Amino acid sequence: MGAHMRAISPALVILAASFGACFHVGSAQAQAARTFVSSFGSDANDCSRATPCRTFQAAHDKTNDQGEITVLDPGGYGALTITKSISVVNDGVGEAGMLVSGGSTGIFVNAGGPSYVNLRGLTIQGIGFGGSIGLDLHQASFLTIENCVIRNHTSTGLSFFPVSNSSISVLNTLVSDNGGSGIILQSESTGVVVKAALQGVEIYNNSVHGLWAVANSPNSEVSAVITDSVAANNGGNGFYASAKAISQPNFAPTNVWVIHSVSANNSTGVASDGVDTGFLFLGDSVVTGNQVSWSRTNPAILESFVDNYIIGNFDGDPAPPIHIPLK
């Protein structure tokens, strides 16, 4: 048989070996559209349902862009840096999240290009030292946070400082007991537009402000609509709109609408400041138990619709300017 075998070209051997090596590397780096984490998993696994990973970061790195990480059981899954469109979902298996300390950030979102990030059912818990931040948004086109708990960080709970245009939704989420403000919305760079919608958000017992929206870069804008939410027991303002003094035509407006919500037992209930560019509108809401019911640094705008209840504050409940809609 040996006499009839054809000799194999050395070049063909090298080509076959190279092909095999490429195939091996491609297989090792393969990603899935859906991955899974479990407290019984291992980061050496492929993050499939049968062999889940142990941490969010390992699952993220093995998930396709626009894919999803599913939590299988309660556990602490470690800090996470997000660099792509992705969903991280816990739909009721028990507490799933991370402990944060030592100047760290629980979730850092830095997803370039058109990107969509969805976080649901997570707990981001600070353990009390080192300047921790719950979530820090650096870049993402759209970020949704739903049914989450962010608490006990020595700095900010939710820090939204995007460097490019971003739309943010926060739904049915608790932000409490943080050493800085509960939520900060800020335009970080020139020309950046930040738009936020918050519904059913509870912002309690933060050392500085409850929610602070601020535009401070030329040609930037921050807009927030807050509905069915509560800011209570915060050391500063419950709901706060401010803007850096930037002259026309490069002004930076901040617009905050507080609708059907409550600001209670804060230092100041609702506040606005900035040169012509800090706007806060209050409608169908309750402001009570605050040391100061409302504050406006002229010529910023703070206006109340006639359907609010401003009562029981320690400054005697002076009537704020009334907003009269155009007809």
The full set of domains in the chain, from first to last, is 66-310 (2.160.20.10)
What is the distance, to the nearest Å, from the Cα of residue 59 to the centroid of all Cα atoms in its chain? 20
Q: CA 326 to CA 308: how far, in whole Å?
A: 19
DSSP state of 200: S
What is the rounded distance in angstroms from the CA atom of residue 301 to the CA atom of residue 298?
A: 7
pLDDT in tens, 180-218: 999 999 987 889 999 999 999 999 999 999 999 998 888
Q: Please tell me the predicted confidence (pLDDT) of residue 20.
A: 42
What pLDDT, on the 0 to 100 scale, is given for residue 27? 37
Q: Which two tokens stand for residue 164?
A: 């490019």
* Amino acid identity for residue 279 in this structure: F
How, if at all, do strands 166-171 and 286-288 pair? unpaired
Position 65, amino acid: D
pLDDT tens-digit map of 38-65: 999 999 999 999 999 999 999 999 999 9
Whether the pLDDT of residue 327 is over 90: the answer is: no
Confidence of residue 292 (pLDDT cuts 50, 70, 90): very high
Closest CA to 296 of 227, 240, 212: 240
Q: Residue 3 pLDDT more than 80? A: no
Q: pLDDT tens digit string along 119-167?
A: 999 999 999 777 799 999 999 999 999 999 999 999 999 999 999 999 9
- Tokens 């739904």: give the residue: 171
Strand order in the sheet with 123-126: 75-76, 96-100, 123-126, 149-151, 174-176, 202-204, 230-232, 262-264, 286-288, 309-310
Whether residue 16 is predicted with pLDDT greater than 70 in this model: the reply is no
Work out the end-to-end distance of the chain between its first and last CA atoms, rounded to an integer number of angstroms.
Answer: 99
Q: What pLDDT digit, counting tens, does each position of 254-290 carry?
A: 999 999 999 999 999 999 987 667 899 999 999 999 9
Exposure string (b/e) for 265-289, b if CB count within 10 Å is 16 or more? bbbbbbbbbbbbbbbbbbbebbbbb
- Asked if residues 184 and 163 have their Cβ atoms less than 8 Å apart, the reply is no
Q: Are 252 and 243 in contact (CB under 8 A)?
A: yes
- pLDDT for res 17: 41
Decide: 297 and 321 in contact? Cβ < 8 Å.
no
Classify residue 206 by its DSSP letter.
Answer: -
pTM above 0.75, yes or no: yes
Q: What is the pLDDT of residue 217?
A: 81
Phi, psi of 17 (to 5 degrees): -65, -40
Give alpha helix (H) positions in 62-217: none
The alpha carbon dihedral of 205, 208, 209, 211 has a sign of: negative
